[in-house]
Homo-oligomer: A and B are copies of this chain.
């Protein structure tokens, strides 16, 4: 851990910068994993990056703030289908949907048509073994040079953490749902 403030971006901006595709993992029990990935997408869009997000777990057809916003600025967010959750009664179906979604991701990653791809909740899916971590790492290894990939979700497997360049653990200090019974807020969490 450093006690330095955020990187001195002013000075950094003036130095030549080598583009290096990063594999970023946002994991942990806290809030902000998907949200930080959305923040990077937003920033990347400001730099005219070709960006795409694939969602595992989350409900197909959901029209949350991020879907509305992404649609407005032309970033595709592709949902992986309803019922893709461990709480689903049909775990086999959930696993099949996740595997299908991963095939789409893999194609997109290897296509070379994107600068940034977000694989939302993939870590969770890997944890449950619905998609093999080795296949994901192999695909990331074969990705086009300079391409950034963000994986979010709880329980990121150690092999993925070992492979990644940047890993952040989002920890709950205080949670309004857990601590005060406040429901998720539109425009903030949904």
Contact = CB atoms under 8 A, between A and B. Distances in A.
A59 B188 CA distance: 27
Contacts of A174: 161, 164-167
Contacts of A39: 32, 34-42, 66
Interface stretch (A44-52, A96-104, A105-113, A136-144): A44-52
A66 to B, nearest CB: 5
B148 A188 contact: yes
A24 B57 contact: no
Contacts of A31: 36, 166, 168
Interface in A11-65: 12-13, 15, 17-20, 22, 24-32, 34-47, 49, 57-59, 62, 64-65
B183 A173 contact: no
Interface of A: 1-2, 5-10, 12-13, 15, 17-20, 22, 24-32, 34-47, 49, 57-59, 62, 64-73, 82, 85-87, 115-116, 121, 124, 148, 154, 161, 164-178, 180, 182-190
